[in-house]
Each structure stands twice: as C-alpha cells, then as structure tokens.
C-alpha cells in the first residue's frame, strides 16, 4: 500500500545514518537501507501495532547486517576507514566539512559496539532504555559503551587540534 | 540540603548528564558540581561539542532514496477460520505427546543432523540467493519438491507462528535429494525446515544444538524432518509441532 511505502520512505535518512554507522561504507550502507526497506514492506503486517516503527526498523536493519556480515571483519574497526572502498564523506560544500570528516572518521573507527550505542543515543536521540532494547543489552552497558566512546573521541580531538594550532602561527 | 550527604559525582553522572539521562534532582547536583570543577565542566562542554558536530556530520551525508516497489503476496492471508484451524492443529500437536531425548544420536541420525545444520548455516546467512525458488512461486515450489522427493508435498504455513515463507531449494542427500524451506520472522530471523527420505527413526521430537543454532527433528512415514533456527527451545518446539501436523499426509488430504 502506498501509505506504508510513504511511512517507510520518511525514515530513509534515519535508516541511512544508522546503516553508515553499521557498515562504514557508502555503497554497503545503501544496499542495507534498500534491503531493510524491502523487508519492512514484506513484514509490515507482522509488526504488532503497539511496536513503534523506528526501533522496529533499527532492529531489523541490525539483524540483516549481522546475518550478512558476520563472516567478515570488514565492518569492524579492524580495517581502517581509509582502506574501505567508499568511506562515508561529508560533502565539501558543507561548512566545516574537513573538521567534520575527521570527526566522522574517528567515530567510524570506534569498536562496533561503541559506535552503535553512541549513534542511537547521540545522533538519533534514543534514551538509554530504547538503545538497550534495540541492541539487546542492559542499560548500564549502553552507558559504559558511550562513556568509552566519548573518552576516545575527546582524546583524539585534543590530539587533532594541536597540529592545527601550530599551522595557524 | 546538606551537601555532605550527597552521593559523590561519578563518571557515570557526567556521561548521563550529556545525554539527559539523570533525574531532575541528580541533574541539579551535577550542575552544582560543574560550577565548581572547571575540568569536569570543560569535559562536558567538549562532549557536547563533539555530539553536535557528529550530528552535523551525519546529517550532511548525501542519501539516495531507495526504490520501493511493493510486491504482491503470492497467497493472501488465510481467512480467520483457517487461522483458527491452524491454531487448533498446533494445540493438537502440542498434546499429541512428545518427549525430549538426550542429545546422543545413533550414527544415521548424526549424519542427517549434520546435513540439516550445515544446510541451515550455509543458506540462512545468504543475502542474494537465500532460496532457489522464492515464495512468489509457492505452487511451483511444492510441485517441484514433491516430484523430486517423490511424495505429495504441501508447504507448511507458519504464519500463525509469525513466520513467512521465503522459498525453498533442493539439496543433495546421501541417497535421495533433500529439500530445504526457509522462513523468516518480523525481525528478519531465519528458520529452515529440512527433510529427506531416511530410514525410519523416532517419531518423537528430539533436540539438537550446535553453536547458536538449535534444532528439533523427528521421523514420520519414511521421512526425517528438522526445524532449525536461532530461537528459544520452546518456540522451536511449537514450530516442530506445527510443521509435523501440516506435513502429516492424512491431515493434508482433509
């Protein structure tokens, strides 16, 4: 039904962002969004009306991702981002794109479990309880993953800033 | 309020503060703490800056909208009466009697099980070609598998258990070929049903486990069946009952 497709298409950007965090690759992310949307349409009637759409989609996307890639190390942080085929990039036209890209790279180089927790809470605005439900872990685990993720991003950002300051003088 | 009785501010509080995950009371305590601790306040400010920048970075990523073409279901949902009949069959199956046996299998069963589990592991992770014939061609699939397995073949309908048919495939077996049917649930978890002609085994449901996959298997009228998935044991057993009832040729004639 067109109504379903429209409701799904409204979630495109949200799903695409999560797919980027999961796959760390532009074309893999697009494939994952496409697969997830198609599956969501097929499974629409199985979703209980009490289940909110977005967490349902996040869980579905995650399951698809896990079953697809569980045999490869490609999307784990064991491969540096710049060795991926198509690393996600903020377009150069966007203000501060160079700095944002450096941050994006550092974020996508975090261990998978940390970047997923950080993504759901920090970017999509999920509560710890919602993120815990989507990832199937305890709320305290979400908190500690975010804590570790932020600690490395903070450290990296102070490291990254130093050479930049030097180049100004 | 006497501040000396307050719980000290910990790492957890600073993390939760940034994400708005504190009670209003604790939030006030953290704010008071931040006013007196410059380092902690700097750290929180930095975390917030990073969070804002990350949002900006992600929202700037170019997106190509996916193409959505809604495919028609091969078969419409069963009318309510039929759903009731399936549910009733499920209940009969549950009460028809089963026992669980220890996991020590005679060699013949071990070969069957290792084939069934290997087939599950191979195709349950397959993205592009999970099945050879898709659910859209359900009638063709049933005829084809029936001819190759040389038996009347009726594809079990597991929608009452929240599983939809993805399709099926034919696989090589020791003597006769085997068939695998694949289903998935609303979250995309996959379940496979594997069957082939086999020496008469136990009609009772028996349980097997290998890694995250669990299976129930049983024999009936010269065929041995296995249902495999990464599901709870109870859920799998319910499925085994449902499948057994639907594969029963006497029942299929009705």
- How near does any CA of chain A get to the CA of B171, in Å? 22
Beta carbons within 8 Å of A46's beta carbon, 6+ residues apart:
B162, B164, B185, B186
Whether ipTM > 0.90 holds is no
The residue out of A87, A109, A127 marking a domain boundary is A87
**Which two structure tokens, joined as six digits, stand for A132?**
């815990």
Whether residue A66 is found in the same domain as residue A109: no
Whether residue A82 is found in the same domain as residue A100: no
Whether residue A4 is found in the same domain as residue A82: yes
Per residue in B86-114, pLDDT tens?
555 555 444 443 434 334 455 557 788 88
Per residue in A105-162, pLDDT tens?
999 999 999 999 999 999 999 999 999 999 999 999 999 999 999 999 998 766 665 5
Calculate the average pLDDT of chain B.
Answer: 80
Interface touch A157/B46, C-beta < 8 Å: yes
The residue out of A61, A87, A113 marking a domain boundary is A87
Per-domain boundaries in chain B: 3-59, 80-253
Whether residue A3 is found in the same domain as residue A81: yes
Confidence band of A164 (pLDDT split at 50, 70, 90): very low
| CA B251 – CA B105 distance, rounded (Å) | 29
Confidence band of B81 (pLDDT split at 50, 70, 90): very low
The residue out of A36, A65, A87 marking a domain boundary is A87
- 8 A C-beta contact, residue B9 and residue B30: yes
Total domain count for chain A?
A: 2
Helix runs in chain B, H state only: 11-18, 24-36, 38-59, 80-95, 107-124, 138-149, 233-247, 249-253
Interface touch B50/A150, C-beta < 8 Å: yes
Whether residue A159 is found in the same domain as residue A138: yes
Exposure string over A91-112, b if 16+ CB within 10 A, otherwise e? eeeeeebebbbbbbbbbbbbeb
Interface touch B65/A9, C-beta < 8 Å: yes
The answer to whether residue B179 scores a pLDDT higher than 50 is yes
Q: What are the residues facing A40 on neighbouring strands?
A: none
- 8 A C-beta contact, residue B89 and residue B251: yes
Interface touch A150/B65, C-beta < 8 Å: no
The CATH superfamily label for domain B80-253 reads MucB/RseB, C-terminal domain (3.30.200.100)
Residues from chain B that touch A118, judged by Cβ atoms under 8 A, are 54
| CA A40 – CA A54 distance, rounded (Å) | 11
For residue B161, the 8-state DSSP code is G
Residue of B nearest to A34 (CA): B66
Residues from chain B that touch A9, judged by Cβ atoms under 8 A, are 65-66, 68
Whether residue A73 is found in the same domain as residue A107: no
- 8 A C-beta contact, residue B185 and residue B167: no
| CA B74 – CA B69 distance, rounded (Å) | 15
Strands B223-229 and B178-184: unpaired
Range of the domain at A70: 1-87
What confidence score (pLDDT) does residue A169 get?
A: 42
- How near does any CA of chain A get to the CA of B204, in Å? 31
Whether residue A117 is found in the same domain as residue A73: no
B61 at interface of A, judged by CB pairs closer than 8 A:
yes
Per residue in B111-129, pLDDT tens?
888 888 888 988 888 877 8
- CATH number, domain of A55, equals 1.10.1740
Whether residue A128 is found in the same domain as residue A161: yes
What confidence score (pLDDT) does residue B87 get?
A: 56
Per residue in B24-56, pLDDT tens?
999 999 999 999 999 999 999 999 999 999 999
Whether residue A75 is found in the same domain as residue A103: no
Q: CA-based Rg of chain B, rounded to a whole angstrom?
A: 27
pTM above 0.80, yes or no: no
What confidence score (pLDDT) does residue A117 get?
A: 97
- CATH number, domain of A162, equals 1.10.10.10
């Amino acid at each position: 039904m067109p109504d379903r497709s429209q409701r799904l298409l409204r979630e495109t950007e949200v799903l695409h962002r999560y797919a980027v965090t999961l796959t760390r690759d532009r074309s893999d992310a697009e494939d994952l969004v496409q697969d997830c949307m198609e599956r969501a349409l097929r499974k629409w009637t199985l979703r209980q009306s009490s289940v909110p759409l977005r967490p349902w989609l996040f869980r579905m996307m995650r399951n698809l991702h896990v079953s697809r890639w569980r045999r490869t190390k490609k999307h784990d942080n064991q491969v540096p981002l710049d060795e991926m085929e198509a690393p996600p990039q903020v377009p150069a036209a966007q203000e501060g794109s160079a700095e944002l890209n450096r941050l994006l790279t550092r974020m996508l180089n975090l261990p998978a479990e940390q970047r997923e927790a950080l993504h759901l809470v920090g970017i999509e605005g999920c509560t710890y309880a919602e993120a815990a439900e989507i990832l199937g872990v305890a709320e305290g685990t979400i908190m500690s993953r975010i804590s570790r993720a932020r600690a490395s991003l903070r450290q990296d950002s102070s490291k990254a800033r130093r050479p930049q300051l030097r180049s100004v003088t | 309020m006497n501040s000396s009785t307050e719980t000290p501010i910990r790492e957890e509080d600073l993390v939760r503060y940034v994400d708005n995950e504190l009670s209003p009371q604790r939030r006030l305590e953290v704010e008071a703490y931040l006013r007196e601790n410059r380092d902690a306040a700097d750290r929180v400010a930095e975390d917030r800056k990073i969070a804002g920048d990350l949002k900006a970075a992600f929202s700037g990523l170019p997106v190509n909208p996916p193409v959505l073409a809604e495919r028609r279901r091969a078969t419409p949902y069963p009318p309510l009466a039929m759903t009731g009949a399936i549910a009733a069959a499920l209940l009969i199956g549950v009460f028809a009697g089963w026992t669980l046996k220890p996991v020590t299998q005679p060699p013949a069963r071990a070969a069957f099980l290792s084939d069934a589990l290997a087939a599950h592991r191979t195709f349950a992770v397959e993205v592009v070609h999970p099945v050879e014939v898709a659910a859209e061609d359900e009638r063709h699939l049933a005829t084809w598998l029936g001819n190759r397995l040389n038996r009347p073949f009726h594809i079990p309908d597991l929608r009452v258990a929240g599983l939809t048919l993805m399709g099926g495939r034919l696989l090589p077996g020791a003597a006769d070929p085997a068939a695998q049917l694949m289903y998935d649930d609303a979250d995309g978890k996959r379940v496979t049903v594997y069957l082939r002609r086999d020496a008469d085994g136990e009609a009772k449901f028996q349980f097997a486990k290998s890694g995250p996959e669990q299976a129930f298997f049983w024999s009936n009228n010269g065929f041995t069946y296995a249902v495999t998935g990464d599901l709870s044991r109870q859920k799998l057993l319910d499925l085994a009952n449902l499948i057994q009832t639907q594969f029963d040729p006497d029942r299929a004639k009705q």
